[in-house]
Chain A
Amino acid sequence: MLRFIIRRLLQLIPILLGLSVLLFAWLRALPGGPAQAALGERATAEDIARYNELFGLDQPLYVQYLRFLGRAVQLDFGTSNRTGRAVTTEFLERFPGTIELTLFAMVFAIGVGIPLGYLAARRYGGFLDSSSVIGSLLGVSIPVFFLAYLMRLVFAVELGWLPGSGRQEVRIDATRITNFYVLDGLMTREWDAAWSAFVHLILPGIALGTIPLAIIVRITRASVLDVVNEDYVRTANAKGLATATVRRRHIIRNALLPVSTTIGLQTGLLLSGAVLTETVFAFGGVGSALRDAITNRDFPVLQGFILMLAVVYVVVNLLVDISYGLLDPRVRVR
């Protein structure tokens, strides 16, 4: 198992290097190059020349790349054109919000999706089955931002049941420790702050979790349908095990294997969706910051955020792979 983990860690290296090359080249390829990108569109030729000299952009490309890599390893991606603050600082400040949101979405998608997919499969062809199949087809066909707007309109604006923007009630003057607002509230025992932060997660979280939910329902259902027809389930029944034991130990355990592999991929989906959902709900995470960076052509922020999000994505997938190895003994030996 340890060798499996080490091998997977080693496989990370070329991917991370490739990523850095890709985003390094990206900034170079932009019209006007990195100087223009950093100084903005109104920069004069003199400004650009001075900038190029200052940051070594007159050096050969490989030197520039190695410098970029050196700074990237120290999490230095320059400063935002708009705020003048370090890109990494902005990212770290906002990322906890996105983590809270994506976690909520994931828990929602898994918590609802797996039981629903299981029940649909066990009632194959029934009403619950057909409606969950149709629902999950619809779920993957809806543009996320439209769903988010619709939910906000209905539940926040019209009905007023839940807050429709921000991460917390503005009037609450909460203490910040980790920037995970819910966690901060719990740690400082500011219960209303924690509650308010949690309530603010519900609408964007459900909107963000809808597509993963639809996918998880489909995969769980298909997987359970496969597994119940497996010979080893028949063996388990032939052993006279209690229905609950057969279900838990032999059906669900094996049916969840394919579901668990997709959870890593869902992370990419959630990070993509966060850009859209956070924008709709004015939720102060990295997603809405990315959207602002697009609007303002804030290239250092775009470069740094996308690189850091890609690293997060790759690492989450690695963790999922490793946990899959724990679940399925066959993977370990391979």
Chain B
Amino acid sequence: MTSLGERKRDRIDMLAAQAGAVPTGEVGLSLTRSAFRRLRRDPVAIIGAVIVVVFLVVAAFAPLLAPKDPIAQYLLSEIRPGSIPGAREGFPLGVDNLGRDLLSRLIHGSRQSLLIGVVSTVLGVAAGMTLGILAGAFGGWVDTVVMRFVDILLSIPSLLMAITVSVLLGQNQWALMIAIAVTQVPIFARLLRGSMLAQRGSDYAVAARALGVRPARIVFGHVLPNSVSPVIVQATLSLATAIIEAAALSFLGLGDPDIARPEWGAMLASAQAYLSIRPWLAVWPAVCIIVVALGFTLLGERLREALDPKFRR
């Protein structure tokens, strides 16, 4: 859902300030390196990473892992109003209301859910970074115009924003991804701009300017690389948001209607109608969403703490 997006929004400025605390390119690198060293010893981060990796592997090898065809219908004779067959030989989690194997659908669903998460986050990061770099690098009226635009995007609560975009673009998986990406754009734009401004005022950027280094080189050679770590942290957290938000949009009937692509959010949304008959139909996709979101959140949070000088010791 929108939750993480909102939560992150207030953290953007903090992350930006944090990026400003990294003094030089070299130190920035060793900071990242020591951050990863700390992460490797952090059990919570490892749990997050393991969750993420397991689901990525499942998504990659879904056709090999799934015992059945996710869209073929089975046991139709046993499905009647008020009764959906549960777990049995060959169907470890039972079938859904249309007789499709739940386990196979969950396995195949990981592909679509992770894809939506990754693509929408990448789109959001790309657009947001572009805006942020424009604003941060040029300053002046460019900055004013870009940031006003970002403020306008931020003035619509994020799910409402996603609804607006989704209604406009129609119902397909690209519309879904773009709708989610749009809600991420202002987050990354602000983050990038903030950390670039912090970097621009830093001693080393001033020193580089005093030495006559060209502005473009300062931005792309010094300022930008140092702004990367908060973006990575934020993107990790955004992956969780995107997956949850996709579920919310599916629930509102704005999901991907293509039945050939099972997706957790859509599965969860359609299972609500059968909650009192077979709650497991909803619980399993919900568990998948929660666990993946948790994995990305744990990883992102710990990454942030590892990169934050305030938490170090």
Direct contact of A and B (CB under 8 A): yes
List residues of A whose CB falls within 8 A of some B CB. 14-15, 18-19, 22-23, 26, 29-31, 137-138, 140-146, 149-150, 153, 157, 211, 214-215, 218-219, 258, 261-262, 265-269, 271-273, 275-276, 279-280, 290-291, 294-295, 297, 299, 302, 306, 309-310, 313-314
**What residues of chain B lie closer than 8 Å to A291, measured between beta carbons?**
252
Which single residue of chain B is at the shortest CB-CB distance from A145? Answer: B251
Q: What secondary structure prevails in chain A residues at the interface with B?
A: helix
Minimum CB–CB distance from B144 to chain A (whole Å) comes to 10
Chain A: minimal CB distance from B83 (Å)? 17
In the complex where A141-B294, A294-B252, A309-B160 touch, is A268 in contact with B6 (Cβ < 8 A)? yes
In this complex, what residue of A is CB-closest to B153? A22
B151 closest partner in A (C-beta): A15
List CB contacts (< 8 Å) of B193-211 with chain A.
Answer: none
Q: Which single member of A153, A157, A215, A310 contacts B160 (CB below 8 Å)?
A: A310
User: Which residues from B are CB-within-8-Å of A297?
Assistant: 167
Residues of B within 8 A of A258 (CB): 10
Q: Which of A146, A261, A265, A267 contacts B282 (CB 8 A)?
A: A146
User: A312: nearest residue on chain B (CB-CB)?
Assistant: B157
Choose among B155, B170, B253, B294 the residue with the greatest number of A CB atoms under 10 Å from its CB: B155
Given A143-B1, A143-B251, A215-B7: 20 more A-B contacts, CB < 8 Å: A14-B148, A15-B148, A18-B148, A19-B156, A137-B298, A141-B289, A142-B290, A144-B248, A145-B247, A157-B276, A211-B1, A211-B3, A262-B10, A273-B159, A275-B252, A276-B251, A297-B167, A306-B160, A306-B163, A309-B157
Contacts of B252 in A (CB 8 A): 275-276, 279, 291, 294
| Cross-chain pair count, CB within 8 angstroms | 153
B73 within 8 A of A: no
Secondary structure at the B interface, as helix, strand, loop or mixed, is helix
Judged by a CB distance under 8 angstroms, whether B164 is at the interface is: yes
Q: Provide the residues of chain B in CB contact with A146, threshold 8 Å.
A: 247, 268, 272, 282, 286
Instruction: Point out the residues of chain B lying under 8 angstroms from A313, CB to CB.
Output: 155-157
Q: Residues of B contacting A14 with CB < 8 Å?
A: 148, 151
Can you identify 5 A-B contacts, CB atoms within 8 angstroms?
A142-B290, A265-B10, A269-B157, A306-B163, A310-B157
The answer to the question of B191 belonging to the interface, with a C-beta cut-off of 8 Å to chain A, is no
Q: How far is the CB of A115 from chain B (nearest CB, A)?
A: 20
A266 to B, closest residue via Cβ:
B6
Among B148-183, those with CB < 8 Å from A are 148-149, 151-152, 155-160, 163-164, 167-168, 170
Q: How far is the CB of A292 from chain B (nearest CB, A)?
A: 10
Name the residue of chain A whose CB is nearest to the CB of B13.
Answer: A261
Judge whether B244 and A145 touch: CB under 8 Å.
Answer: no
* A294 shortest CB reach to chain B, Å: 6
- Whether B275 lies near A153 (C-beta < 8 A) is yes
Q: Does B66 contact A (CB under 8 A)?
A: no
B254, CB-defined interface residue at 8 Å? yes
B151, A138: Cβ atoms closer than 8 Å: no
Residues in A with CB closer than 8 Å to B10 are 219, 258, 261-262, 265
**CB-based contact A143/B294 at 8 Å:** no
**CB proximity to A under 8 Å, residues B269-313:** 269, 272, 275-276, 279, 282, 286, 289-290, 293-294, 297-298
